[in-house]
């Protein structure tokens, strides 16, 4: 069982559609990070959320940390082909950064 469960595993949508991906756990975290990994590259940090209920916006991306700090969501408005990639959530667990399995997003033109 993974510490962080991400859903859906795979999402294929048309350009212009909205979408939400989720990162859930039964554990409480002091912070949670979202990374995006484009094909052929390493992951790149998008955001870190630290406060329960926190909402952060990065252009068309909206990140939310659950009130209980056990879950997080990433909402993309009007998806573009450049949003295609693997979205990973990560948290500090003990002395290690633990990653979820990720959501593969494919945006078709």
Partner 1 sequence: DVKVTQSSRYLVKRTGEKVFLECVQDMDHENMFWYRQDPGLGLRLIYFSYDVKMKEKGDIPEGYSVSREKKERFSLILESASTNQTSMYLCASSLVFSGYNEQFFGPGTRLTVL
Residue list 9-28, contact with partner 1 (CB under 8 A): 9
Residue with Cβ nearer partner 1 (44 or 78)? 44
Candidates 48, 62, 73, 84: give the one binding partner 1 (CB under 8 A). Answer: 48
Candidates 26, 42, 82, 109: give the one binding partner 1 (CB under 8 A). Answer: 42
Is residue 101 at the binding interface for partner 1, with CB under 8 A as the rule?
A: yes
Distance of alpha carbon 102 from alpha carbon 81, whole angstroms? 18
Q: DSSP states of 13-56 as a string?
A: EETT--EEEEEE-SS--S-EEEEEE-TTS--EEEEEE-STT-EE
Candidates 8, 53, 92, 108: give the one binding partner 1 (CB under 8 A). Answer: 92
Q: Phi/psi of residue 55, each to 5°?
A: -125, 130
> Which residues of the shown chain bind partner 1 in the complex (CB under 8 A)?
2, 9, 29-33, 40-45, 48, 50, 88, 91-92, 95-102
């Amino acid at each position: 069982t993974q510490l962080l469960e991400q859903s859906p595993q795979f999402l294929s949508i048309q350009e212009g559609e909205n979408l939400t991906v989720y990162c859930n756990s039964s554990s409480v975290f002091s912070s949670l990070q979202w990374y995006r990994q484009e094909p052929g590259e390493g992951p790149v940090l998008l955001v870190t959320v630290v406060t329960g209920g926190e909402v952060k916006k990065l252009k068309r991306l909206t990140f939310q940390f659950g009130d209980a700090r056990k879950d997080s969501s990433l909402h993309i408005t009007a998806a573009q082909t450049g949003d295609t990639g693997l979205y990973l959530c990560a948290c500090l667990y003990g002395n290690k950064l633990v990653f979820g399995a990720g959501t593969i997003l494919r945006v078709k033109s």
